[in-house]
Structure 1
Amino acid sequence: MSSDTRSIEPRYALYYAPPAQSPLWRFGSAVIGYDAETGEADGSLALRRFDAVRWREITAEPRRYGFHATMKAPFRLASGRVEADLRAACARFAAERARFACAGIQLATIGRFLAFRTASACAALDRLAAAAVAAFDEFRAPMNAAEREKRQRAPLTPRQRDYLDRWGYPYVLEEFRFHMTLTGPLEAAERALAEAELAEHFALSGADGPLIVGEIALYRQEDGPFRLIARYPFGGDR
């Protein structure tokens, strides 16, 4: 008798994640129903406009990735690379950087989904994301056919297609827009309800202060949602 003993090839991502005890982390985790650091479900959001089943459907997509903002999009490890190499690179990358602050965040509509965006442009965030895209690309395995097909389902500009080919992700460098996803795609009427629901909770959350960026987070996905496996504090103050 034989059995399939193949292991699932993990994926990794470099994200911005708010500090674990911060109001922003607690609120974002409650919205999507999952704490990526503990790996536990979070059902603390008391909903008025949605039942729990529908809200879990609405937040299924961001729940797979955990609350975050992308710095280096998910990738499989390149041949010859191991997780310990990636962890060491994360530590070096963080040690060379200083913490900074951006204006507070606000609820925003991006296409058909809801997310947090910074209240105004933050060049330091753009520079951090661009640096992460380049610094960690040596750890990224080339896209396979399924990964490429998935990325190409969305309409891409010529520059975005070039970035997909070069960096494995189309929304980098000039195409990068900092955001922290809260829902999956919604039709206009339901999106308006969800926005009203989240706006009420956000106003009471205490999460609307300046966005402090003082570390990067390494996430890993195996056979379930992404988990936050390590935080790397920046090496100095700005």
Structure 2
Amino acid sequence: MTRRYAIYFAPPARSTLAELGAEILGRDPETGQARPQPRLDGIDPDRFHVITEDPRHYGFHATLKAPFVLAEGVSGEALHAAAEAFAAGRSSATGPALALASIGGFLALVPSADAPEVHALADACVEAFDRFRAPLTAAELERRRRSPLTPAQDRHLERWGYPYVFDEFRFHMTLTARLTDRAEHEQVRAALAERTAPVCVDPLRIDAIAVYEQADRQAPFLVTGRYPLRGAAA
């Protein structure tokens, strides 16, 4: 078994955003428990369960440092300690309210405008936790390259283990798999727009980072540590 870790933004447990994400995806990443999914107008419940399978596996989140296997000689305990230390010296990040958007056919919650503080936090996480990451294997590189990558994205993949960092980063909280049927895409988007409207009002605030863990590639990700951002604002 190969355990993987990730540094994510996870909304505060039992917050409106966290509850909404767990409900839509059908699983609470804090507890691992299944949640009843909402009945959406015109959408078959079994089909909705299928199109949320991939994001349900990862748990509701926004990526700050993408999933990785630990480098040789480092431990999960050391990663958690580093996450706590990082958070202690970093201030919270704020951004505009979330909005439902389509990213390459996936439906996700994204900032409704530029969010430089959020982007800076993600950049810092990519760099700070890279020493814990084992290099990608040849098979992992090959799998990643099956999706078209720009030269810049491929360089990021080689250097940082993930193509969508720094200039390629976009904060997003995924709600569905890629929906290739246009009619289905629009129907699901309309239903989720109504469902997510209550969390698309207040400004986004990130006041903690979370460590998620996956026991093996088939296991779902779970929150195993949450570390408040306690640093003084600049």
1:226-237 aligned at under 5 Å gives the runs 226-236=221-231
Aligned residues between the structures = 230
Kindly provide the amino acid, as one letter, of the partner of residue 167 in structure 1. Answer: W
From 169, 172, 195, the equivalent of 2:189 is: 195
How far apart are residue 145 of structure 1 and its match?
A: 2.4
Cross-structure match for 1:107:
100
Tell whether the 8 Å contact from 2:98 to 2:199 is kept in structure 1 after alignment: no
Consecutive unaligned residues in structure 1, runs of 5 or more: 1-7
Please give the alpha-carbon distance, in whole angstroms, between the structure 1 residues aligned to 2:113 and 2:232. 22
Please give the alpha-carbon distance, in whole angstroms, between the structure 1 residues aligned to 2:103 and 2:56. 17
Cross-structure match for 1:117:
110
Deviations 1:103-156, CA, capped at 9 Å, x for gaps = 110000111110001011110111111100010000000111221122111111
1:120-139 aligned at under 5 Å gives the runs 120-139=113-132
Please give the alpha-carbon distance, in whole angstroms, between the structure 2 residues aligned to 1:55 and 1:234. 35
Please give the alpha-carbon distance, in whole angstroms, between the structure 1 residues aligned to 2:153 and 2:37. 38
Please give the alpha-carbon distance, in whole angstroms, between the structure 1 residues aligned to 2:10 and 2:140. 25
How far apart are residue 42 of structure 1 and its match?
A: 1.2
Please give the alpha-carbon distance, in whole angstroms, between the structure 2 residues aligned to 1:213 and 1:180. 13
- Asked if 1:175 is matched to 2:168, the reply is yes
Please give the alpha-carbon distance, in whole angstroms, between the structure 2 residues aligned to 1:109 and 1:57. 18
SS of equivalent to 2:108: strand
From 85, 88, 100, the equivalent of 1:95 is: 88
Kindly provide the amino acid, as one letter, of the partner of residue 233 in structure 1. Answer: P
How far apart are residue 206 of structure 1 and its match?
A: 4.6
Judged with a 3 Å threshold, the aligned counterparts in structure 2 of structure 1 residues 199 and 83 are, in CA distance, closer, same or farther, namely: same
Cross-structure match for 1:220:
213
SS of equivalent to 2:142: helix
SS of equivalent to 2:2: coil
Please give the alpha-carbon distance, in whole angstroms, between the structure 1 residues aligned to 2:57 and 2:97. 25
Please give the alpha-carbon distance, in whole angstroms, between the structure 1 residues aligned to 2:199 and 2:3. 35
Kindly provide the amino acid, as one letter, of the partner of residue 229 in structure 1. Answer: T
From 53, 57, 77, the equivalent of 1:60 is: 53
TM-score, length-scaled by structure 2: 0.95
Tell whether the 8 Å contact from 1:76 to 1:140 is kept in structure 2 after alignment: yes
Please give the alpha-carbon distance, in whole angstroms, between the structure 1 residues aligned to 2:213 and 2:166. 23
Deviations 1:25-76, CA, capped at 9 Å, x for gaps = 1111111111100101111423222222111110011111100110000000
Kindly provide the amino acid, as one letter, of the partner of residue 86 in structure 2. Answer: F
RMSD, matched Cα: 1.2
Consecutive unaligned residues in structure 2, runs of 5 or more: none
1:27-46 aligned at under 5 Å gives the runs 27-46=20-39
Please give the alpha-carbon distance, in whole angstroms, between the structure 2 residues aligned to 1:67 and 1:53. 20
Tell whether the 8 Å contact from 1:23 to 1:207 is kept in structure 2 after alignment: no
- Asked if 1:23 is matched to 2:16, the reply is yes
Deviations 1:133-186, CA, capped at 9 Å, x for gaps = 010000000111221122111111111111100000000011101111100011
